[in-house]
């Protein structure tokens, strides 16, 4: 009997070589093209001016190596266990005088050889080629060992995982699809759940959790990173453990699986509801996320949930039943809807107290206030310091109290995290506690309703000092100032004038209201500050900076620095009751041509009034009830702007009510 079993084993091995051995050959050829051939190409072209530098083997066609590692093992798993997916082949293989464990072990061993042998052959050939006189090739024996170990580990992981998911289906195409879904599922489902949590939990900071390098749990992305960051010991242990677990689970499922499962979408009937509800749930989340991000309306979000869940349930049921006639399964969908409503209600009613949670004021070391969670998550990293820093940590007692009170009000109001609009702003509030713990919340709120809170925080001395780099003590001295407004440019290089101008500018920044700091504003142009160390700062030259205008006028520089009333022949103001976007009106030749001959417009020639209009005109907004066209002396076409009703000069309101 042993000799007979050995004969079957040998015959099975030979059969595998004939039917599946081509995958091993393709694997070897692909690896050869990715690494040894690349080295030969570099060697023959090294006399050129530029030659890339390589410090490890993964730097050779890194993405291509990743495609090999995540394609060949999946194909190998599909073809190696292809017999399971066909009833006749499954019956034949299982009729052999071999235990299922033995048969499974032999197939897995053959698959492992198809991966190991090409990798070893490639690394040996690479080691020989590394002996060539290549100037920019810095690959040591340790690098070759590392590549061999990590490449085999990743390929064996992909192979074992692909075999494992293959036990759940009787269709080879689905085995491949399930394998890639498995590799993306942890990150994908995390993104879907976290993004949808914003719609039911007020203050839920999805971006904070999504910024925690979710791509690291996607094996392919981690493979691409191997060129710069080797696998840590715990990562190698994790992948090795996953290989063992997949092998043990696969062999257990293989023993439990019936031959009749061949051709079935889901091999185990008990798992069909899991598959059906899982697909439905994922589709539901996708639908809610799509309409939530595009429409930002609760009604559309619910529509997305219902519509996409129906589509997902239909697709899953059609796959299981192999027919589109699945309407008799409506009771299963009803069960799913009831379960989702119950779970959603529990989350919405905040049974965990997430929305109302707030640390004790005495436990707070410092608070975080801004628009993004980026700086909060990376507070220990050295960040690029921009001229304007809206996201910052505050630690004075008064500002901690101000932010705390703001958060308390938001807890009571329960605003959403996904509202949007012209006057809506995202606010992130975070706490760093004295014991090292952190807490963060994110809201989208209408600015005007919380104006007192913004004023108390953003107009404080600490916030302004952190917000504007120019107000900080470590700024290098300024050696040149450049003001740019359209075609006009003025440079200030005199040290005394620079000192005087900077003093005025700092006063403007210190006394600037928070509305000018956070909302789109009107500006003349830019102010560029060239520092002594060569760095340059650039900020908006806002029209609200009246002291800057006065300084320029005092030094006879105003007309040289920006457009003034002296540059304007006249201006025409026209009402736009339909609030048609400005760019649509300007592109209408009839509107432009007839503007000067219309009787329902206001023509302005008074220099004082023209200067006031220049101050109030905005180029940031495109929709307003009042549109103004400035006709300049040396320009054939007018310059178009809008004027907000709130900023409308009184003389215009009187003549064009």
Which residues on adjacent β-strands are paired with residue 428?
370, 442
In the 8-state DSSP scheme, what is residue 619? S
For residue 539, give the 3-state DSSP assignment.
strand
Distance, CA of 174 to CA of 282 (rounded, Å): 17
Rounded alpha-carbon distances, angstroms, from residue 425 to 290, 407, 449: 21, 15, 11
What pLDDT does residue 349 have? Answer: 87
In the 8-state DSSP scheme, what is residue 54? B
Q: What tens digit of pLDDT does each residue of 587-621 get?
A: 888 888 888 888 888 999 999 999 999 998 987 77
* H-assigned helices in 460-545: 461-467, 495-510, 514-518
Distance, CA of 516 to CA of 458 (rounded, Å): 11
What are the b/e assignments for 594-628, b being 16+ CB within 10 Å?
eeeeeeebbebeeeebbbbbbebbbeeebebebbb
Distance, CA of 135 to CA of 564 (rounded, Å): 63
> Exposed, middle or buried, 649 (CB in 10 Å: 0-12/13-18/19+)?
middle
Give the full edge-to-edge strand order of the sheet including 639-643: 602-604, 568-575, 626-632, 639-643
* H-assigned helices in 130-271: 141-166, 172-197, 206-210, 219-224, 233-256
For residue 482, give the 3-state DSSP assignment.
strand
Average pLDDT over the chain, rounded to whole? 87
For residue 30, give the nearest of 108, 121, 111 by alpha carbon: 121
Distance, CA of 641 to CA of 617 (rounded, Å): 6
What pLDDT does residue 48 have? Answer: 61
Distance, CA of 430 to CA of 439 (rounded, Å): 5
Phi, psi (5° rounding) for residue 535?
Answer: -70, 160
Distance, CA of 417 to CA of 438 (rounded, Å): 19
Q: What is the pTM of this model?
A: 0.80
For residue 368, give the 3-state DSSP assignment.
strand
Place of tokens 């001959």: 597
CA angle 55, 57, 61 (to 5 degrees): 105
Q: Is 113 left (phi over 0), alpha (psi -120 to 50) or beta?
A: alpha
> Exposed, middle or buried, 233 (CB in 10 Å: 0-12/13-18/19+)?
exposed
Which residues on adjacent β-strands are paired with residue 575?
626
Rounded alpha-carbon distances, angstroms, from residue 558 to 126, 503, 566: 69, 18, 11
Q: Is 575 within 8 Å of 656 (Cβ atoms)?
A: yes
Distance, CA of 369 to CA of 174 (rounded, Å): 48
What pLDDT does residue 1 have? Answer: 41
Instruction: Provide the greatest CA pair distance for the chain.
Output: 113
Q: Is 606 within 8 Å of 621 (Cβ atoms)?
A: no
For residue 157, give the nearest of 34, 245, 286, 256 by alpha carbon: 245
Torsion of CA 285, 287, 289, 292, to 10 degrees: -140
- The half-sphere exposure of 115 on its side-chain side, counting CA atoms within 13 A, is 30
What are the b/e assignments for 447-464, b being 16+ CB within 10 Å?
beebeebbebbbebeebb
Distance, CA of 159 to CA of 75 (rounded, Å): 9
What pLDDT does residue 508 have? Answer: 93
Distance, CA of 460 to CA of 557 (rounded, Å): 33
Q: What tens digit of pLDDT does each residue of 106-162 get?
A: 899 999 999 999 999 999 999 998 888 777 777 888 989 999 999 999 999 999 999
Q: Is 447 left (phi over 0), alpha (psi -120 to 50) or beta?
A: alpha
For residue 57, give the nearest of 137, 175, 132 by alpha carbon: 137
Averaged pLDDT, groups of 10, the chain, 657 residues long: 52 85 94 90 70 80 91 95 83 77 89 95 92 77 92 96 93 92 90 91 87 74 89 93 95 88 86 92 94 87 94 91 82 92 89 92 94 75 63 92 96 80 84 92 90 94 90 86 91 93 93 83 88 85 92 93 91 88 84 84 92 87 84 84 87 85
SS3 content of the chain, % helix, strand, coil (to 5): 60, 15, 30
Instruction: Count Cβ atoms below 10 Å from residue 482 Cβ, excluding itself.
Output: 18
Distance between start and end Cα atoms, the chain: 106
Task: Quote the radius of gyration of the chain (alpha carbons, Å).
Answer: 34
User: In which element (H, E) is residue 385 found?
Assistant: none
């Amino acid at each position: 009997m042993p000799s007979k079993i050995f004969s079957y084993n040998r015959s099975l091995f030979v059969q595998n070589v004939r039917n599946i051995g081509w995958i091993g050959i393709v694997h070897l050829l692909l690896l050869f093209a990715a690494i040894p051939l690349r080295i030969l190409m570099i060697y023959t072209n090294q006399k050129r001016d530029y030659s890339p530098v390589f410090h490890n083997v993964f730097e050779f066609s890194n993405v291509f190596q990743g495609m090999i590692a995540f394609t060949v093992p999946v194909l190998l798993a599909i073809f190696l266990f292809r017999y399971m997916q066909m009833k006749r082949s499954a019956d034949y293989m299982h009729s052999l005088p071999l235990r299922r464990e033995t048969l499974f072990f032999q197939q897995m061993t053959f698959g492992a050889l198809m991966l190991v042998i090409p990798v070893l052959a490639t690394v040996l050939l690479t080691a020989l080629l590394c002996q060539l006189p290549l100037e920019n090739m810095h690959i040591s024996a340790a690098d070759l060992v590392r590549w061999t170990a990590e490449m085999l580990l990743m390929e064996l992981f992909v192979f074992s995982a692909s075999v494992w998911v293959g036990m759940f289906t009787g269709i080879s195409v689905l085995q491949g699809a399930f394998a890639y879904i498995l590799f993306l599922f942890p990150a994908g489902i995390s993104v879907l759940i976290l993004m949808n949590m914003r719609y039911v939990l007020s203050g839920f900071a999805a971006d904070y959790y999504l910024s925690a390098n979710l791509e690291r749990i996607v094996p392919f992305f981690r493979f691409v990173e191997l060129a710069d960051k080797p696998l840590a010991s715990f990562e190698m242990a994790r992948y090795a453990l996953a290989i063992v677990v997949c092998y043990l689970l696969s062999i257990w499922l293989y023993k439990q699986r019936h031959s009749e499962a061949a051709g079935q979408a889901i091999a185990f009937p008990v798992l069909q509801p899991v598959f059906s509800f899982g697909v439905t749930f994922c589709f539901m989340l996708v639908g809610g996320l799509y309409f939530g991000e595009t429409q930002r309306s609760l009604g559309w979000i619910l529509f997305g949930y219902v519509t996409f869940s129906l589509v997902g349930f239909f697709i899953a049921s059609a796959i299981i039943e192999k027919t589109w006639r699945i309407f008799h399964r409506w009771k299963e969908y009803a069960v799913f809807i009831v379960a989702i409503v119950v779970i959603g209600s529990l989350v919405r009613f905040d049974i965990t107290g997430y929305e109302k949670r707030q640390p004790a004021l005495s436990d707070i070391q410092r608070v975080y206030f801004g628009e993004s969670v980026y700086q909060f998550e990376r507070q220990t990293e050295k960040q690029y310091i921009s001229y304007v820093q809206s996201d910052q940590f505050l630690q004075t007692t008064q500002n901690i109290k101000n932010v705390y009170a703001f958060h308390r009000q938001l807890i009571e109001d329960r605003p959403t995290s996904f509202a949007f609009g012209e006057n809506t702003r995202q606010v992130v509030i975070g706490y760093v506690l004295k014991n090292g713990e952190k807490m963060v919340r994110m809201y989208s709120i209408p600015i005007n309703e919380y104006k007192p809170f913004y004023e108390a925080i953003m107009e404080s001395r600490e916030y302004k000092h952190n917000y504007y780099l120019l107000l900080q003590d470590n700024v290098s001295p300024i050696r040149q100032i450049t003001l740019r407004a359209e075609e006009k440019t003025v440079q200030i290089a005199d040290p005394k004038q620079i000192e005087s101008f900077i003093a005025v500018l700092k006063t403007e920044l210190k006394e600037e209201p928070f509305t000018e700091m956070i909302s789109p504003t009107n500006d003349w142009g830019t102010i560029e500050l060239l520092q002594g160390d060569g760095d340059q700062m650039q900020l908006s030259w806002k029209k609200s900076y009246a002291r800057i205008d006065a300084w320029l006028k005092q030094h006879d520089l105003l007309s040289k620095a920006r457009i003034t009333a002296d540059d304007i022949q006249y201006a025409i103001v026209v009402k736009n009751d339909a609030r048609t976007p400005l760019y649509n009106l300007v592109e209408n030749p009839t509107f432009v041509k007839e503007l000067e001959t219309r009787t329902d417009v206001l023509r302005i020639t008074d220099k004082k009034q023209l200067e006031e209009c220049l101050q109030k005109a905005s180029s940031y907004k495109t929709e307003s009830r009042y549109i103004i066209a400035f006709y300049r002396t040396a320009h054939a076409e007018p310059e178009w702007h809008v004027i907000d009703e709130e900023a409308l000069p009184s003389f215009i309101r009187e003549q064009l009510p």
